[in-house]
Amino acid sequence: MTSPTRASARSIADDLRRQIRDGELPPGSVLPTGRELTERYGASTKTVSAGIDLLKAEGLVVGEQGGRRRVRADRPITWNLTKFERGQRKDSAAGDDWSTAISEAGRVPAQHVTVETEAADHDVAVWLRIPDGTQIVKRTRLRTVDERPFQLATSYFPFSIADGTPLMQEGDVSMPGGILKAIGHPQLHVRDEITIRMPSPEESDRLDLPPGTPVAQHVRIGYGAEAPVRVMVTIAPGDRHVLVYELEV
């Protein structure tokens, strides 16, 4: 687009955004140089940079070494939350239900797990139906796909359930049917809560999020015969996921 008047940062961002969404600038493509854009839009270098910064804030464009700007090219995963941890789970000694689903999609999963005990904060206590400050076991997983961070999943268990079990082991531990079932505390039903929000600084750092990228917070509370046996809080970058539910109607 060549404008007869000097374009604003907003109009430059609007036009480039349209090109990205229409496929004229496909994922992974390099944006025109700053000089090319100043000539195309009849704008100053400062105005062009401000327009590009708007697209960076939206997560549509990423900067690279050397000053190049490129259209983001992440390949999202489809995460079917109806099938996840339901029915015939695909856990094995080689990988849990999540890792198996990612492998079946032709991608390469990995999980980096740390374990600690701590006092339950208010949110976790409400989810697990325990008093605030009750001792719990916390398993934090950084899930990667094709060596890129895709999810930060933190599971909380009542200490009375996790103590002395594989849930206390560091690393990516998995068992056929899931660890909870293997230790005699299967999840009989679950409740999901999904919130869309902006990430915390720590989440942005651990998930390598470009500025302006929202996340889905997926909370899954797993219930045993009498009370919750686990709550898992998963932070999923919005640019890397398609969340799917399949329901009978």
* Domain end residue (candidates: 50, 71, 92): 71
Residues 6 or more apart from 46 whose CB is under 8 A from it?
none
Reported as a single tens digit per residue, the pLDDT across 128-163 is: 999 999 999 999 999 999 999 999 999 999 999 999
Q: Are 233 and 195 in contact (CB under 8 A)?
A: no
Same-domain pairing of 136 and 56: no
Confirm whether 249 is domain-assigned.
no
Confirm whether 215 is domain-assigned.
yes
Same-domain pairing of 118 and 91: yes
For the chain, the domain total comes to 2
| Cα-trace Rg, the chain | 22
Confirm whether 3 is domain-assigned.
no
Same-domain pairing of 123 and 67: no
Same-domain pairing of 119 and 218: yes
Q: What is the CATH number of the domain that holds 37?
A: 1.10.10.10
Confirm whether 41 is domain-assigned.
yes
Assign 60 a pLDDT band (cuts: 50, 70, 90). Answer: confident
Reported as a single tens digit per residue, the pLDDT across 171-226 is: 988 888 889 999 999 999 999 999 999 999 999 999 998 777 899 999 999 999 99
Confirm whether 206 is domain-assigned.
yes
Same-domain pairing of 59 and 162: no
Q: What is the CATH number of the domain that holds 142?
A: 3.40.1410.10
The whole-angstrom distance between residue 21's C-alpha and the CA centroid of its chain comes to: 22
Same-domain pairing of 50 and 109: no
Same-domain pairing of 64 and 81: no
Confirm whether 29 is domain-assigned.
yes
pTM of the model: 0.78
* Domain end residue (candidates: 24, 54, 71): 71
Host domain of residue 130: 77-244
Assign 94 a pLDDT band (cuts: 50, 70, 90). Answer: low
Continuous H helices in the chain: 9-21, 34-41, 45-57, 97-104, 122-128, 159-162, 179-182, 201-206
Assign 5 a pLDDT band (cuts: 50, 70, 90). Answer: low
